[in-house]
């Protein structure tokens, strides 16, 4: 079972002088929060399992139990709220997307009530969509429009070096440091497989990724002392041909 570093959301507050050790709470809790400890002759509670269903609270004959929202709080930040941070921890801990029920538990506006869906044709679709293929290859680079010819009158290709993308998508720059090694490797491999480019950001280029040089744009900026930068030599300085 994975270790959970988040402080539990709820706390079980038991008034011990009221508790008559009847163990109803132990028998009724579906999540096995309450346990009778024989040696100490008292009820102990594992609040990490409590979901605040309030069953033990309502069944306790002496009303000795109370479930409260924990006031153990992370540092306040309107951008990175407690809930967001905890959800990220939970997803990282479980490796899966969190599932919850339908509906909006937050006091946020319902955007669907504010959108007009207007189906209209804004552009000419492919006339023969079954037979007209889409070619998405794009070249980036200056196109001076100059035509040079040799003595035989044939065109001499004279474009400055171009970047060749299999489709008009590039990953934006996220530095090694702002995101992890694994994230960089994912981007580098994805760019290579798709035939597009990713950008190292200003954190420098790990030497393990030199092998993806053909699909790498190296950003040389203030965030990385550019003195050594051997990585620049492995990246496309003159990338592809026009």
Partner 1 sequence: MLKKEGKIRIPSGCAISAVISKSGERMDGRAIIESMRPMHERSNGLGGGFAGYGIYPEYRDLFALHIFYDDDNARTEAETYIRSVLETVRAENIPTRKIPAITDEPLIWRYFVTPLRSVLASMQLDENEFIARVVMRINTTIDGAYVFSSGKNMGVFKAVGYPEDVGEFYRLEEYEAYSWTAHGRYPTNTPGWWGGAHPFSLLDRTIVHNGEISSYDANRRYIEMFGYKCTLQTDTEVITYVADYLMRKKGLSLSETASVIAAPFWSTIERKPPEERDRLRFLRTAFPSLLITGPFSIILGFEGGLMALNDRLKLRSMVVGEKGDRVYIASEEAAIRAMEPEAENIWAPAGGEPVIVRVKEGAY
**Could you list the residues that contact partner 1 (CB under 8 A)?**
123-128, 131-133, 135, 137-139, 143, 145, 147, 154-155, 157-159, 162, 241-242
CB of 157 to partner 1, least distance (A): 4
Residue 126: CB minimum distance to partner 1, A = 6
Q: Minimum distance from CB of 159 to partner 1 (Å)?
A: 6
Closer of 106 and 152 to partner 1 (Cβ):
152
Q: How near is the Cβ of 146 to partner 1 at its closest, in Å?
A: 8
**What is the distance, to the nearest Å, from the Cα of residue 132 to the centroid of all Cα atoms in its chain?**
37
- Quote the CA–CA distance of 84 and 229 in Å, as a whole number: 37
Residue among 125 and 230 whose Cβ is closer to partner 1: 125
Looking at beta carbons only, is 71 or 151 nearer to partner 1? 151
| Cβ pair 46, 33 in contact under 8 A | yes
> Cβ closer to partner 1: 177 or 242?
242
Q: With respect to partner 1, which residue has the nearer C-beta, 37 or 132? A: 132
Nearest distance in Å: CB 110, partner 1 = 34
């Amino acid at each position: 079972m994975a270790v959970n570093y988040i402080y539990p959301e709820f706390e079980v507050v038991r008034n011990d002088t009221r508790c008559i050790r009847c163990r109803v709470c132990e028998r009724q809790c579906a999540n096995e929060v309450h346990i009778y400890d024989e040696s100490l002759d008292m009820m102990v509670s594992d609040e990490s399992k409590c979901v605040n269903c309030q069953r033990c609270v309502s069944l306790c004959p002496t009303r000795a139990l109370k479930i409260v929202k924990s006031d153990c709080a992370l540092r306040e930040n309107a951008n990175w709220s407690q809930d967001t941070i905890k959800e990220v921890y939970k997803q990282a801990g479980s490796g899966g997307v969190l599932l919850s029920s339908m509906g909006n538990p937050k006091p946020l506006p319902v955007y669907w009530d504010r959108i007009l869906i207007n189906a209209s044709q804004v552009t000419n679709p492919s006339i023969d969509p079954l037979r007209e293929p889409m070619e998405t290859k794009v070249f980036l680079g200056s196109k001076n429009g100059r035509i040079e010819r040799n003595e035989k009158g044939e065109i001499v290709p004279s474009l400055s070096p171009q970047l060749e993308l299999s489709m008009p998508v590039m990953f934006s720059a996220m530095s090694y440091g702002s995101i992890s090694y694994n994230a960089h490797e994912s981007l580098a491999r994805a760019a290579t497989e798709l035939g597009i480019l990713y950008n190292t950001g200003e954190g420098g280029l790990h030497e393990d990724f030199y092998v993806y040089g053909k699909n790498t744009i190296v950003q040389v900026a203030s965030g990385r002392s550019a003195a050594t930068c051997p990585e620049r030599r492995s990246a496309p300085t003159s990338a592809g041909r026009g």
